[in-house]
Structure 1
């Protein structure tokens, strides 16, 4: 018996080892360039840090993201998906090891002997016997994974677990990006509200001047009515900007896991653009982005499940062993004189399954091809996101420079028009038009500043946001 258990122990060490599948190569058939076509970035040898948002040097933003990562409910759900995948991997891998159970049983049996002429039966009545037995045993069942079916099943589950880990890290990355962009949107909304209010106040000052001149008979009713329309329109814009500001603050509070009460304090102005970041090489992108790692792990799991389906056609070998004691008295259960044991082997070869095994192989292979196609599509999208984000940096920088100049000139033109109207050398149409152009130019300038910051966040996310550093 000891020799049998020694053989079993050695077999467990040989046949129960399973590990996650190796990393799969990129499935993209077209040639990936050695550098990004949208432009180069400095210090490509460096990597993006996991806390990339600190490049903006905003302590309040850092605090907000810390709270979001701690309290956001979607992130908590992603963390539980990791735990579920881990438990599933344990469940799938359990059959690799012998299944051991402890049994304790007791039985009492009564039997009558009728129609048997047994000598010494006395008065000729029915003879009977009553027997009581007790037993304790250790039972072992184990399927020897000779062909690797169970090991590949465990490997697929481990790949799923690694995919869930990448999904959780991707959720953290996405949440930090959403929080950062929501913070910038709230700041812009506040600045747009301030601009709308100052513009309305400016319109009101000009309207008071026109009102005074109209009452003095110096300006016609048309000037006053156009000015009043300008003030009313500005009031409507203030209400619109206030609504947008309120909504942006509430959205940010939801990301932080707070009740959306629109009570969060918002910074007064947008941040300056940080220094350029290292974009790395296109060939390294698969290891830097969590969504690509998820797609790659799905391919690895699909490959393992194809092996599982093919090995299901091979015979399965199972071992069953039991050892313990059996006695009519409880006191004898621990005695070596009442030991009983058994050992059996079983080989089962599938012969006819109604096409189930072949269909299982076709299903696994179809899922494998589907995972490969999805991986290739996701990789191309990832390359495209990086290229687009790099180009957006250039386009938005040019737009910001142009809108800055346009805003400065529009404000100067408004001041000049107001001065000329006050001196009576310009008409009200020119005045009101210059006011609206100045307001529009300043608003567009605020928007493009926020868009540049958003584009930088998009570039961080497209490059994996420090995921490669964790990996």
Structure 2
């Protein structure tokens, strides 16, 4: 076998040899002392059976307009585009790091033409002073990953890539939750506007009746002025509600990337309540949260970086080889007589660096401890958010029932006071007070409906998008 072929074959064989050692600790998921189930496990209401909620969770609100808004946001939002670009960057970095595990092969070709002096210390004796040289060589180099430095670097890069993907999922979950919450707020404001406009028509009718009674000498001017104040105040409230509705629509326009967004009117009472989780939700559902997964992958990356730093304390072993031809004539450069080759083994052993490499190991270890603490904090925060969401869903459901009773009682009181005023048994101030109480009670009921729906959004987000029948 030719010497050059032997060198290249030996280089390829070395590339296939497995590493003898792998420096640094292997990753093991930390064990946290969390309760087995979440608290408030009695959240499932008696009138609503626990149903499995599967992704996409926002479709459970059964609103085509909302579904379209979330789809547009996930496609056009700038935060999503940034997150996707970061995934592409991480993928490219992973390919770059992984390429170090394979030999690097280069082709080098050169040609030169020069003239040397005829008056130098070494006479040419009639030789041609014009010199030509042509070279073509194939070079290969390979670092033996004897200590696992390159494999640990790839492990870290792979974890960073996974973390970037989970970061994108976190952005998508937060974005969809923000779109749904703003949409629910917009529908709540529309319901409040509709209610207030109905109340304003009632007050205007009462104002017209009071003026007629004043003309007939039955009522006083005080009743008229009081009715005018009540109508003006309610009209001003409607103006403010319309302003808030426009602001909510503008926010949705930015989130969806449709700056000319215009939504048709709707009613929040038409939106169904999403399914509630069953009792005894296990705490391991937190593993489905993308932010928790992202924190864990960041911990995996930092854990692998310790191995990279420790491997740098040991010798770096590399193989090099070249094979090609060199000739004074371009036509002879590929002939056997012009053949050139070389092979080498390199070893770089750090002897004295004033503790610089050891300091890098300490830095990597400290960074791993920081990431571990951040991961633990993310798990604890996620557990708290789920518990808070479960409590909020339950309490808002109870609050809505109570406010509904209050609204119905206020409506009955308004009807009675209006009839008593028309019959001459009550003063007009009683009617105004009943109108105010009913309007406040009805507005509070609509807002409680909004709060209950938004609490369900927070629960979906806290659980990473929902839950399954089988945990």
- Judge same fold: TM > 0.5, yes or no: yes
**What CA distance in whole angstroms lies between the structure 2 residues aligned with 1:332 and 1:257?**
65
Which of these residues, 37, 40, 59, is aligned with residue 38 of structure 1? Answer: 40
Correspondence 1:103 to 2:95: no
Which of these residues, 67, 70, 84, is aligned with residue 65 of structure 1? Answer: 70
**What CA distance in whole angstroms lies between the structure 2 residues aligned with 1:315 and 1:295?**
33
Using the TM superposition, give the Cα deviation of residue 268 of structure 1 relative to its aligned residue in structure 2, in angstroms.
3.0
**What CA distance in whole angstroms lies between the structure 2 residues aligned with 1:146 and 1:87?**
25
CA contact (8 A) 1:246 1:262 kept: no
What secondary structure, in the 3-state scheme, does the structure 2 residue paired with 1:190 have? helix
CA contact (8 A) 1:287 1:293 kept: yes
Choose 452-461 or 267-276, whichever is displaced more.
267-276
What secondary structure, in the 3-state scheme, does the structure 1 residue paired with 2:350 have? coil
Instruction: Show the counterpart of 1:93.
Output: 98
Label 1:456 to 1:428 Cα distance change in 2 as closer, same or farther (>3 A): same
Which of these residues, 82, 89, 101, is aligned with residue 84 of structure 1? Answer: 89
**What CA distance in whole angstroms lies between the structure 2 residues aligned with 1:277 and 1:457?**
13
For residues 174-232 of structure 1, the C-alpha deviation after alignment (integer angstroms, 9 at most, x for no partner) is 22222222221111111111112111111111111111112222222222221111111
Choose 348-357 or 188-197, whichever is displaced more.
348-357
Which of these residues, 4, 8, 12, is aligned with residue 9 of structure 1? Answer: 12
Using the TM superposition, give the Cα deviation of residue 82 of structure 1 relative to its aligned residue in structure 2, in angstroms.
0.5
Q: How does 1:307-318 map to 2 (within 5 A)?
A: 307-318=307-318
Choose 230-239 or 270-279, whichever is displaced more.
270-279
Instruction: Show the counterpart of 2:157.
Output: 157
Using the TM superposition, give the Cα deviation of residue 137 of structure 1 relative to its aligned residue in structure 2, in angstroms.
1.0
Correspondence 1:404 to 2:373: no
Which of these residues, 46, 52, 61, is aligned with residue 57 of structure 2? Answer: 52
**What CA distance in whole angstroms lies between the structure 1 residues aligned with 2:261 and 2:67?**
20
CA contact (8 A) 2:152 2:305 kept: yes
Label 1:148 to 1:281 Cα distance change in 2 as closer, same or farther (>3 A): farther
Instruction: Show the counterpart of 1:220.
Output: 220
Label 1:383 to 1:133 Cα distance change in 2 as closer, same or farther (>3 A): same
For residues 421-440 of structure 1, the C-alpha deviation after alignment (integer angstroms, 9 at most, x for no partner) is 11111112221111111001
What secondary structure, in the 3-state scheme, does the structure 1 residue paired with 2:41 have? coil
Label 1:44 to 1:396 Cα distance change in 2 as closer, same or farther (>3 A): closer
Label 1:48 to 1:87 Cα distance change in 2 as closer, same or farther (>3 A): farther
For residues 285-316 of structure 1, the C-alpha deviation after alignment (integer angstroms, 9 at most, x for no partner) is 34200000011011111101111111111111
CA contact (8 A) 1:253 1:262 kept: yes
CA contact (8 A) 1:110 1:129 kept: yes
Instruction: Show the counterpart of 1:124.
Output: none
CA contact (8 A) 2:7 2:321 kept: no
**5+ residue gaps, structure 2:** none
Using the TM superposition, give the Cα deviation of residue 339 of structure 1 relative to its aligned residue in structure 2, in angstroms.
1.3
Q: How does 1:376-455 map to 2 (within 5 A)?
A: 376-455=376-455
**What CA distance in whole angstroms lies between the structure 2 residues aligned with 1:81 and 1:119?**
64
CA contact (8 A) 2:19 2:146 kept: no
Instruction: Show the counterpart of 1:25.
Output: 29
Using the TM superposition, give the Cα deviation of residue 454 of structure 1 relative to its aligned residue in structure 2, in angstroms.
0.9
CA contact (8 A) 2:386 2:463 kept: yes
**What CA distance in whole angstroms lies between the structure 2 residues aligned with 1:47 and 1:101?**
58
**What CA distance in whole angstroms lies between the structure 2 residues aligned with 1:86 and 1:118?**
62
**What CA distance in whole angstroms lies between the structure 2 residues aligned with 1:105 and 1:295?**
51
Instruction: Show the counterpart of 2:262.
Output: 263
What secondary structure, in the 3-state scheme, does the structure 2 residue paired with 1:324 have? strand
**What CA distance in whole angstroms lies between the structure 1 residues aligned with 2:305 and 2:281?**
32
Instruction: Show the counterpart of 2:326.
Output: 326
For residues 436-470 of structure 1, the C-alpha deviation after alignment (integer angstroms, 9 at most, x for no partner) is 1100111111111111111111111111115999x
What secondary structure, in the 3-state scheme, does the structure 1 residue paired with 2:268 have? coil
**What CA distance in whole angstroms lies between the structure 2 residues aligned with 1:243 and 1:116?**
96
**What CA distance in whole angstroms lies between the structure 1 residues aligned with 2:468 and 2:166?**
11
CA contact (8 A) 1:65 1:176 kept: yes
Label 1:45 to 1:421 Cα distance change in 2 as closer, same or farther (>3 A): closer
RMSD of aligned Cα (Å):
2.7
Any runs of at least 4 consecutive aligned residues in structure 1 with deviations exceeding 4 A, and if so which?
A: 15-18, 21-24, 40-48, 113-121, 278-281, 466-469
Using the TM superposition, give the Cα deviation of residue 69 of structure 1 relative to its aligned residue in structure 2, in angstroms.
1.6
CA contact (8 A) 1:253 1:264 kept: no
Q: How does 1:237-316 map to 2 (within 5 A)?
A: 237-259=237-259, 261=260, 263-270=262-269, 271-278=271-278, 281-316=281-316
CA contact (8 A) 1:27 1:375 kept: no
What secondary structure, in the 3-state scheme, does the structure 1 residue paired with 2:117 have? strand
